[in-house]
Amino acid sequence: MGKATRDAYGEALKELGAVNPDIVVLDADLSASTKTQVFAKAYPDRFFDTGIAEANMMGVAAGLAAAGKIPFASTFAVFGAGRAYEQIRNSICYPKLNVKVAVTHAGLTVGEDGATHQMLEDITLMRALPNMTVIVPADAAETKAAVKWAASYYGPVYIRMGRAKVDDIMPEDYTFQPGKSYEVCEGSDVTIIACGIMVAKAKEAHDALLKKGISARVINMASIKPIDEEAIIKASKETGAIVTCEEHTVKGGLGGAVAEVLALNAPCPMAMVGTEDTFGQSGKADELLKVYGLTAEHIAEEAEKLVQKKN
């Protein structure tokens, strides 16, 4: 097991701060949890704790961006994408300001904090906004690469991270490119497209399917918007079946984004693994993932069904 993506975020901010004096970080009184405290300790004059006032934080970030700074605004996903949605829409995306909204504690793996804190709709909200880039890194290496890319790009970026430790998936020298996916496993019978913590589970599903004689391609789709249309169309034509996996609602998230590409370009049998039309509940992270079907076993089952349907 590797480190949590939020830990990699804190490290990346500190590294960026050392080479770029325009990097500033804002937090809504959660710096110990979002790991922005790592940056705060190193560069206290460039760190701003705005308190439990997320909407105001986004406005302050917009002002700093308008003044030429590169602000990273951090809080939990439910407060960043949810409570501050209007400010992100009107103060950041509409004028296309150079603000990076980097959120942690997304999805069911927030665990015992329960439904109120388990943000399962943020990808849908953020990818619907014009000018917004949406990234869901799979592990620590990809988080660092995505954060460093975001700092070099001019425009709004939403980076979605989790609370728990995750398996290492990507090579250490990985370079993030928006609109480009990464093929984790080769396969010819079915394609599993995943993001975030579900990439590791997709890889487990690949191994389980291989024992049954099913060859599953696994694609890490960290760039939700822009999405890698070329890889999706290629997968549809070459494998003829696609399963999407996300720690998020299937309504408008990764599954919805992939379905849009398929419907317009290369339709094929498809299944979506994620939460349905429901909120989460309090519980241990691993137990919640099982309750909501976000497991390698469920991914493998859905993939096997599609292969049978295709044949």
51 lies in which domain range?
5-160
Whether 77 is covered by a domain: the verdict is: yes
DSSP secondary structure, the chain, as one string: ---BHHHHHHHHHHHHHHH-TTEEEEESS-HHHHSTHHHHHH-GGGEEE--S-HHHHHHHHHHHHHTT-EEEEEEEHIIIIIITHHHIIIIIITTT---EEEEESBSGGGGGG-TTT-B-SHHHHHHTSTT-EEE--SSHHHHHHHHHHHHHS-S-EEEE--SSB----S-TT----TT--EEEE--SSEEEEE-TTHHHHHHHHHHHHHTTT--EEEEE--EEES--HHHHHHHHHHHS-EEEEEEEESSSSHHHHHHHHHHHH----EEEEEE-S----SS-HHHHHHHTT-SHHHHHHHHHHHHHHH-
Is 195 in the same domain as 258? yes
Whether 34 is covered by a domain: the verdict is: yes
Q: Give me the CATH number covering residue 276.
A: 3.40.50.920
Is 93 in the same domain as 193? no
pLDDT at 297: 98
Q: What is the pLDDT along the chain (311 residues), one digit of tens a residue?
A: 789 999 999 999 999 999 999 999 999 999 999 999 999 999 999 999 999 999 999 999 999 999 999 999 999 999 999 999 999 999 999 999 999 999 999 999 999 999 999 999 999 999 999 999 999 999 999 999 999 999 999 999 999 999 999 999 999 889 999 999 999 999 999 999 999 999 999 999 999 999 999 999 999 999 999 999 999 999 999 999 999 999 999 999 999 999 999 999 999 999 999 999 999 999 999 999 999 999 999 999 999 999 999 88
Specify whether 230 is catalytic: no
Is 192 in the same domain as 148? no
Choice among 15, 54, 301, 302 that is catalytic: 54
pLDDT at 47: 98
Is 63 in the same domain as 107? yes
Whether 278 is covered by a domain: the verdict is: yes
pLDDT at 2: 85
Whether 92 is covered by a domain: the verdict is: yes
Whether 54 is covered by a domain: the verdict is: yes
The total of structural domains in the chain comes to 2
Does the predicted model carry a pTM greater than 0.85? yes
Is 186 in the same domain as 108? no
Is 12 in the same domain as 130? yes
pLDDT at 310: 84
